[in-house]
Structure 1
Amino acid sequence: METNRSYGEFAAVYDELMTDIPYETYVELVMTATGGLRGKRILDIGCGTGLLSVQLAKQGADVSGIDLSADMLAIAEKRAQAHSLPVKFVQQPMQQLAGFTGYDAAVIAIDSLNYLQEREEVLSTLHNVHTALAVGGTLLFDVHSTFKTDVIFMEGPFTFDNGRIAYIWETEEGEHPHSVYSELAFFIQEQHDTYRRFDEVHTQRTFPVHDYVNMLEEAGFSIERIFADWEDLAPDEESERIFFQVRK
C-alpha cells in the first residue's frame, strides 16, 4: 500500500486490519496468470508489510517488494526473515519505479494503485511496470470500482472494534472525480485498559474501467481479462473491486 506518509503507527496495526483479505486467493490468481510460481521473478508493488510477498515466496517465487513506507518495509523484512525467505524489499514510490528489468510478473494488490491521485501518476506507474517486465510478462492489479468510491464509501462513518484495536472512519468526497477523503481515529488498547489514540488521513481515487483500459493500452499492455470481486465474472454496476490481468 502506498501513500504520501510514512505510515508509522498505522504500520504496527496494519496486519490486524487486513485479516479479511484473501491473500491466498491472490496467490492463486498470480499462479494462474503466470503458469506457476516456482522460479518466477515477481514484483510486489505497494507491498506494505509483505503479507503477499511472503506468500508468493513460499511458493518458490523470487520476489521483490516495493513500497513507499519505510515503516511498512521494516515489518515486511522481519516477516521474510522469520520465514527464512530471501525477499528483497526496496523503498520506492510506484510512480517512480526504476531499476527493475526482466520480471515475469508484477502485482499491485489491494487497491494500492488507488493512492495515486493523478492520471499521469497512474500512467507513469504502468509505463514503469511495462519496462520492468520481460516480454510476455504479466501485470495483475485491483482497484476500487467507481460504485465503491461514489456510493459505498459515502455511507460512512464506519466503525471497527476487535477488542484491541478500534477505529472511527469518516469519509467525504475527494477533490477529484471518484475519489474519497478519509479521516480515521484509531484507539489502541495498552496496559491497564488504557487506550492510545492516533489519527490517519487517506485519500484514494479510482477511474472507470474504460479509463484503465485506455491507460494500459497506452502503456503497451494487452488486456487478457477483467473481472470483479475475486470471482471470474465480468464487472457489473455494483461490483466493488475490479481486477485487471494484462500482458506485455
Structure 2
Amino acid sequence: MLQARNIVKSFGGQDVLKGISLDVERGELISIIGPSGCGKSTFLRCLNFLEHPDLAEVRIEDVSLSCNGRWTRQDEAHAHRLRAHVGMVFQAFNLFPHLTVLENVMLAPIHVKKIAANQAEIIATELLEKVGLKNVKDRYPDRLSGGQKQRAAIARALAMKPSVMLYDEPTSALDPELSEEVLSVMRALDNEGMTQIVVTHDMRFARAASDRVLYLEEGTIVESGDPDQIFAHPQEARTRRFLRTILS
C-alpha cells in the first residue's frame, strides 16, 4: 500500500539519502533503526514530501508523485492529496497550546475535511478513549505529561483516518514509563491492522513489535529483515557493529 522508489536527498552538497527504495504491505509495522545522522528522519519526511527530495517516486494507496529536483505548484497539489492518506507523529508533540486536547483532535477534521463540529467531537472523543485520554479531554497541553501529549498527538493524526502512520522518534523525549504508554497504543493499532513506520532508538520496541526492521547507515538501507534476524543474526558487519554499540 506504500511504495517508494529511489529517494535521493542532499543538503549543502552532502548526500543524506542515496537512492532508498521501500515497499510496505498493508498492516505492516516497520521500525527504522540506525545511528544519529544516518538519514532516518529525512527519509520519513520524504515519504509524505514534508521534505522535498531531489529525486523520488512515492505511491500511497491510489496517489503517486514523482520528483526530479524541481518542485512545482502542481507537485504541491499532488503532495497534499498524498498527505491525506498519512498521519505523522513528531518527537516534539506539536500540539496547539491554546486548544484543549479535544479541540486539538477536532481541528483538522473540521477545517480540512469540513466535518461538522458535533460529528468531529464524537470522532475525537472516541479516539481519545482509544488512546486512554478521554478523562483529560478538556485539559490544555501544558497540564499533560509527555506520554499524554504524545498519545494526544497520535489521536490527532488518527482523526484524519490515515492509511499509514509515520512516527519520528515518538518516545525519545520520554522516560521509560511514559514511553510504554505510547508504545502500547502503537501495538494496539498494529493489532487493528494499521500500517505504521516508526523511526526509533527503542531497540526493545523494534524487536518486540515490528514485522520488519530496517537498518540505515550513511543514507542507505544496509539490511532489512524480521526482528529475530536483525537482532539475533544480522548478516552485515555494519549492523552487528551498531547493535553491539547501542545494546552494550
TM-score, with structure 1 as normaliser: 0.35
TM-score, with structure 2 as normaliser: 0.35
Structure with the largest fraction of helix: 2
Structure with the largest fraction of strand: 1
Which of 1 and 2 has higher RCO (CA within 8 Å, sep 6+)? 2
